[in-house]
Amino acid sequence: MVKAIENAIDAMSPADLYIGRGTTNIGKNRSAADPENPLDKTLDVLEAKNSEGKVTGILFIAACHAVFNNDGRNAYTISANFPGTARDIIRAKTGTNAIFIQDVQAISIQDLRQVIKRRERNWQRMYLK
């Protein structure tokens, strides 16, 4: 890891940064029985281009875990999932690597309290039958 950091520092060069914001429908609130629970669909993208205009890196951020549901009550698998596929597509189209960051956007205290109450009710329905 240290060598990778040293290589990155040695390869630094000026770049222009471009920021984009859109939405994605990739996620869902899998822990909520109520479809009205908050779900952040924001997709932020940061693109770096060198002085020749070549894309040298892409960072994309979404509030969605890279997991998928297996059989069983709590069987979730951590994997490259959609970020891995997105990285492959970005690399094929731009010739550069992309980094995914999972982000959870801030919500109000009132919304947070509602989410906690719903999760408690869902937990009770699932485990205290």
Would you list the domain boundaries of the chain? Answer: 2-127
Residue 88 has what pLDDT?
94
pLDDT per residue rounded down to tens, the chain (129 residues) = 788 888 888 888 899 999 999 998 887 776 666 666 677 788 889 999 999 999 999 999 888 777 766 665 566 666 778 888 999 999 999 999 999 888 755 555 566 677 677 777 776 676 665
Residue 90 has what pLDDT?
93
Residue 76 has what pLDDT?
63
Q: Which long-range contacts (CB under 8 A, 24 or more apart) does 30-38 make?
A: 30/69, 31/119, 31/122, 32/115, 32/118, 32/119, 32/122, 33/118, 33/121, 33/122, 33/125, 34/118, 37/115, 37/118, 38/107, 38/111, 38/115
